[in-house]
Structure 1
């Protein structure tokens, strides 16, 4: 089985994320798969990408550890236009590659500043039919989150959008919960691969180990280590120092480091780094992922000075695990100086050489095997789903035929909730609507809505926007079902928020607005219902309930999302059974379909496609457009084999 695989990675400070992703891409390519790697960071000359199609996005970087301030290659802040272009490129690449597997490196556990583009990619992937597997790829140790909300958001995205998480580490050395909270749901998705060994093979030793190799990664983050090592080399020149600095260190700093030292003592990083390590008596380095793998393979004595600026906890955690196994000594960055480094070097050289470490370094091959197994496992599930949907469609078709035989009409309409912006999922929703010629009442959240939503729907007049509460905030007390307009708040507050919601909706949506009220979670206080007409609303739509006294009400009856369980597709047989019963037990009554495009996975999209393919063209079905729901547009189309209200001219 040859797979098409898309890997998206953006490195911001060093090159470790790109190096690891490139090694995974090469391993997949060697196994015969077609791989496209999309890089969003600065180009790195020493990273090998042979056999892999590469695409470079407009590059971003950070300075220091301010990961919230994204900069372009010249050091200027990234503009919204550049970020929009990156998002569009990712979605276009997805469409062009049509991958079987999509891998996002670090996201959603990190790269929150680029969440919009990663979500655009993943949501577009989930909307494809058939949908690719979506996997996260993370290193052994993550930055420990400082807010519970970050953990909750990450876990929600994993549960909703991802099929698995590849952890490129050895759980016996560092379990993931040493740096990140792991609950039962996340634990089920974790797949430990072992460490990915990026480096080349080591040539046979030609003599005893000698000298000290100092390294600090590809960025300027190792400058403090380089300076301490250069000063230590001046104090103890007989140690045989070789200080390899990153390619991105400014030339002026590079020249200053080498001042007064023998030529060649300070040099740029080089591709034979691992060979140098294999002959060194001691390595002095930070504790980045790829450096540590190099140390485990090459086997020198090691002094680790983990990078700890800002909130960085990753390298210290990894270094201490290695030190606990006798594989390295740790010199904290805060204690770094030339004398302290010389003391650590002396202790390191006097220590016995590291023995067999037993750490799993077969991560590249095992990652390939895991991806292949997950893809093979998913294939029959998709086939089984299509079979079940087809059988359910037969039952629905028979119910519609029976209604037609009795001369009955089956009115049908569609509402979609929680819209806030134009996204790939919204485009998929509208494309599905157009392909079946079923217009949608799109319930948008006024306080959260972006201009892109109104812009997108301005060109789609058959669809209209309804008012989905004010900000979709839950005001229910603990233990109660969530509600924004529930009976837990004073009636005056409910009316004030409903009035503000309508004001914002008119301001933001203009002619696309149909002033109908759709309460979040389909819950509202009875006192609010009669007040809506006085506020200027023309209708109300919620879950199935009693008719309103002063305002037109049209409710929904079928929601395909399993909100209390998997958050995927409910049992298709039960969904179709509910439709069949409604058609039989409520002849002539409208049937309302409710969807939530932002959370749909491939199975839900498939189900909707199959459902609409049966309902929309059936001669007994009357498709109701949004303007026909609340008596706003009584003009009806000329009779035809298919009754469709709000049809285009």
Structure 2
């Protein structure tokens, strides 16, 4: 069984300095009450940790509402239909691509209305772009569309370093006072299809990315996001997730937060 020593050592340095890091958990691609989703929600309840679920509005089934009714679950918007609109040969993107910006925004607005109607107060108007990619023009218009923030992947904008959204869009800078609450550790590797990224690699990446915060290479106040995709987990991924949640849920240098708290506490940039 893989040791967490490298991560523990890094967290101990945070604790020794009297500092703590906010950690949150996002899961993508929810559309129905599958056995995998039930297993995921069960893990959150067992570890008593909050969970943010990115739901796909255009393809969601009626049973998803009851499946996500447990306390501690927030629902985010995962694009509209998780459909690729990139030109041939380009990287997959739904929130942009070969369509006019207004067409993309109109579609996203319809998705927001669906989720608001179905989930009520459990829904937060935070956009999670499929494939963690979004065109800058679409991102810039999100506040006017009623969104509170964007959740992508990678370090957010920090004194000219990194991006406000995705590692795929390193130059993306979000509007002022618009929250960037990103994920930073994906349990899966996507080259050649979804596979478990491996315990040793994930532990090292977690420690390294926390060290970047502690040393000021990235925003030291940025919450750290764990990213899962319940539909694509194999048994190795599920097993590692259980061990990771138990570890981070108990270390004194970690404050495991619901995204509702991060939205009000976390500085944007």
User: Which category of TM-score, normalised to the shorter sequence, fits these structures?
Assistant: 0.7 to 0.9
Contact 2:85-2:97 at 8 Å conserved across structures: no
Contact 1:396-1:614 at 8 Å conserved across structures: no
Contact 1:413-1:593 at 8 Å conserved across structures: yes
Contact 2:36-2:230 at 8 Å conserved across structures: yes
* Cross-structure match for 1:320: none
* Cross-structure match for 1:637: none
Gaps of 5+ in 1: 1-386, 635-649
Q: How does 1:145-544 map to 2 (within 5 A)?
A: 387=1, 389=2, 391=3, 393-458=4-69, 460-544=70-154
* Cross-structure match for 1:579: 206
Deviations 1:581-636 (A, max 9, x none): 111121243111111001111000111111111111111101110211222xx6xx
* Cross-structure match for 2:229: 596
Aligned pair count reads: 242
Q: How does 1:548-559 map to 2 (within 5 A)?
A: 548-550=174-176, 551-559=178-186
- Matches of 2:186 and 2:238 in 1, distance apart? 13
Q: What's the CA shift for 1:523?
A: 0.5
Q: Which moved more, 1:424-433 or 1:478-487?
A: 478-487
Deviations 1:373-423 (A, max 9, x none): xxxxxxxxxxxxxx2x3x2x1221121112111111111001000001111
Distance 1:410 1:421, change over 3 A: same
Normalized against structure 2, the TM-score is what? Answer: 0.86
Contact 2:223-2:262 at 8 Å conserved across structures: no
- Matches of 2:241 and 2:22 in 1, distance apart? 17
* Cross-structure match for 1:610: 243
- Matches of 1:611 and 1:394 in 2, distance apart? 12
Contact 1:468-1:517 at 8 Å conserved across structures: yes
Query: Root-mean-square deviation (CA), in Å?
Result: 1.4
- Matches of 2:142 and 2:262 in 1, distance apart? 16
**Higher relative contact order, structure no. (Cα contacts within 8 Å, ≥ 6 residues apart):** 2
Deviations 1:530-584 (A, max 9, x none): 2111111111101123252242111111101121146221132221111111111
- Matches of 1:611 and 1:621 in 2, distance apart? 12
- Matches of 2:258 and 2:228 in 1, distance apart? 16
- Matches of 1:463 and 1:615 in 2, distance apart? 18
Gaps of 5+ in 2: 155-162, 165-172, 215-219
Contact 2:80-2:107 at 8 Å conserved across structures: yes
Q: What's the CA shift for 1:452?
A: 0.9
Deviations 1:334-364 (A, max 9, x none): xxxxxxxxxxxxxxxxxxxxxxxxxxxxxxx
Distance 1:406 1:437, change over 3 A: same
- Matches of 1:443 and 1:559 in 2, distance apart? 14
Q: What's the CA shift for 1:487?
A: 4.0
- Matches of 1:453 and 1:626 in 2, distance apart? 20
Deviations 1:199-225 (A, max 9, x none): xxxxxxxxxxxxxxxxxxxxxxxxxxx
Q: From the CA coordinates, give the structure whose radius of gyration is larger.
A: 1
4+ residue stretches of structure 1 with deviation over 3 A?
none
- Matches of 2:45 and 2:128 in 1, distance apart? 23
- Matches of 1:601 and 1:518 in 2, distance apart? 23
* Cross-structure match for 1:620: 253
> Pick from 181, 186, 191: which aligns with 1:564?
191
